[in-house]
Every structure is written in C-alpha cells, then in structure tokens.
Amino acid sequence: MEIVGYGVLADEEPLLRNAFDKAFEGRHELRCLGLFLDRDTAPTALGHEVVLSSVNDNLDAEVLRALAEGGTRMIAQRSTGYNNIDLTAAEACGLSVARVSSYSPYSVAEFAWMLALAVNRRIVRAVHRTREFDFRLDGLLGRDLHGRTAGVMGTGKIGAAFARIAHGFGMRLLGWDISENPDCLALGMEYVPRERLLAEADLVSLHVPLSPDTHHLLDTKALALMKDDAILVNSSRGGLVETDALLETLRAGRLCGVGLDVYEEEAGVFFRDKSLEVMTDERLARLMTFSNVLITSHQAYFTEEAVGQIARTTVANIEDHLAGRASDNTLVTPPKA
C-alpha cells in the first residue's frame, strides 16, 4: 500500500525513506508531501490507510472525520507533542493514533543552550555588525554564566540534558517538576516551587509539555517574578508563554534576553516561506523588533540523530498498527475488528 506523509521537510525525506526501505523492503510505498494537513488538504489523503502527520498539521474533528471517511485508519504523528490532534474525535472516528514518545534529548537541550548563549553574548547583533565591517564592541557586553543560577522547568530527559550542560558551566541548579529526577538531584539540583525558581534564576529554560495545566505557564504574574536581567529560553511549546504578557514585559525594559524556538501561534507560519508576504501576525512581528529577542522556527529537534530516530519510531508505529498491537507510543488504541 501507499503511505502518505504531510509536512515532510527536504532534509527529513531521505531519513524517512531510508527507514521505510529498511523496514518494509518494498512492501509499502511512501509518498512525501510538503503541504500541511488541514481542512483544505485532507482530500489528498483519500484512499491512504496510514497518514504521517507533523506537529503543525491541523487534525481537528472535521479533518479527522474527512480522513476516516476517505479510508484512513491510522495517524502516525512524527513528534512527541500531539496537542494538534483531537484524540477524542480520533477515537470516535475509529482511528488509531501514535506518536514518537522520545528521541535524542541532546538535540533540543543543546539548541536551547545555543539560544541562551547567543542572546547573552549578543551574537546575532555582532554578526550583523561584522558583515558590515563594523567591529565596535558597544552594546555587546555579556555576562559570565559560571556561578549564576539556572532554573530548569521540566526535568525529563531534555531538561536533564540541559541541566548537565548547566552543571558543566558551573551553575547553581534549581528545578521545577511534578516529580524529582534522580539524575538531576545527583547534579546538585534543588527542586523548588515555581515562584521561587522564577525569582532566583538568572536563566530560565522551559522543558515541559503543553497541556491545559501548563498553557500560559509563564503569564503576566509569572513573568513579573523574574529578575529584570534574567534570560528566558523556550524550546518546548509556544503555548507555555503568554505572548502578550511577554511583549509587555519586554516593552517595560525587562529581561536581558529571550530565545524562542517556538511560538504559540506558529501553525501556518513556521516551516513556511513568508518572506514575500506581509506578516499579518502583529505579535510575532512585534517580538522581532526587540534586539534582545532571538526567534528560530521550531528547529531545536532538527539533527540527523533526532530526525533519524523519529523516522525509525514512526515506522515501528506503523508496523504495530498493521499487526493490530499497541505500544508505549500509542495515543488511541487501534479499534478491534
């Protein structure tokens, strides 16, 4: 049979095809599409039992019904997050859904540190200057991170990898999570309430999943607790930070720097070329005007190791679906015949 993948990136496709070729040996074909799955594009999935989705596809109830009516029986999400999928509707439509529950934590942790270091040492501004042969150091003063406090919100695999790097810098570690990670405790991390972490940390990095409980985790009240010269990094999910509250904080001249790899309204913008269009998202455009804000387009995970692992796990999820079995990656159990 033919399996169709949506939102497949140019650098992702070879790794995805390689995983398919090794696992299926020609028994199933893969059709890769660059377009994203939504109400307008759902008809293109007609006749495909398995659909590979990406984090910026819109799989609401209407789209899922259209897919089910067209013969789709499985959604294989190529990411850890799945807040873009209406799981209740998927179950009602008789669809099985699986995700990639984990991949290289180092890809995201290392990228989060890249954002932190870049905003701290004004790297983007420095590069723009030197390209114009302006070699002044005015406005490029950074700070040593050694001896300062790193606040890690979410201490799973990615948060722990971030904490290990912070420990290597010689930073004091504060953590916040629903449970304590022994690996982080071994680094000397102290678990504290969210309010204390925000008040004491010189660097706050977010590594928690997006859920109703964590939506706008950093709102006006939470951001007000942070030091005026703190650095904020979000490489997890855009909805963790209330954008309007962040804009007000920045307009007030607070925060030394902000590094964002995600944005709460990124769907329909990230992973697309908008360079020839008018940017109609005023909040995103406003964020771009701050010289101490660095925004990248959800690329923290984008390494050969992580994408390769995502591809292999996606293939394994398809194999499980075809065999009628569930796994730890299963979000909606395959319906019984």
Among candidate residues 242, 266, 312, 321, the one labeled active-site is 266
**Distance, CA of 251 to CA of 254 (rounded, Å):** 7
Helix (H) or strand (E) holding 160: helix 157-168
Which residue do the tokens 């599409």 mark?
Answer: 33
Structure tokens that stand for 81 in this block: 């997050």
Gyration radius (Cα) of the chain, Å: 21
Token readout for 284 is 């995103």
Tens digit of each residue's pLDDT, the chain (337 residues): 899 999 999 999 999 999 999 999 889 999 999 999 999 999 999 999 999 999 889 999 999 999 999 999 999 999 998 989 999 999 999 999 999 999 999 999 999 999 999 999 999 999 999 999 999 999 999 999 999 999 999 999 999 999 999 999 999 999 999 999 999 999 999 999 999 999 999 999 999 999 999 999 999 999 999 999 999 999 999 999 999 999 999 999 999 999 999 999 998 899 889 999 999 999 999 999 999 999 999 999 999 999 999 999 999 999 999 999 999 999 998 656 5
Per annotation, catalytic residue among 73, 237, 312, 321: 237
Residue 86's Cβ-side half-sphere holds a number of Cα atoms within 13 Å equal to 16
* CB proximity list for 102: less than 8 A, separation 6 or greater: 80, 157
Where does 187-269 have alpha helices with state H? Answer: 194-200, 220-225, 243-251
CB 65 within 8 A of CB 40: no
Q: Do residues 13 and 59 make contact, with C-beta atoms less than 8 angstroms apart? A: no
DSSP per position, 89-137: HHHHTT-EEE------HHHHHHHHHHHHHHHHTTHHHHHHHHHTT----
pLDDT of residue 56: 86
298 noted as active-site residue: yes
Q: Is 71 helix (H, G, I), strand (E, B) or coil?
A: coil
Residue type, 124: V
Is 2 catalytic? The answer is no
pLDDT of residue 113: 98
Buried b / exposed e over 132-162, threshold 16 CB at 10 Å, is: eeeeeeeeeeeeebeebbbbbbbbbbbbbbb
* Residue 277 falls in the annotated catalytic set: no
* Dihedral, CA of residue 85, residue 280, residue 245 and residue 166, to nearest 10: 70
Give the whole-angstrom CA distance, residue 260 versus residue 190: 25
CA distance 242 to 199: 18
- Give the pLDDT score at 83: 87
pLDDT, residue 244, reads 98
Model pTM above 0.95: no
Q: How far apart are CA 140 and CA 138, in angstroms?
A: 6
Q: Which of 73, 99, 298, 312 is catalytic?
A: 298
Nearest to 73 by CA among 320, 316, 307: 320
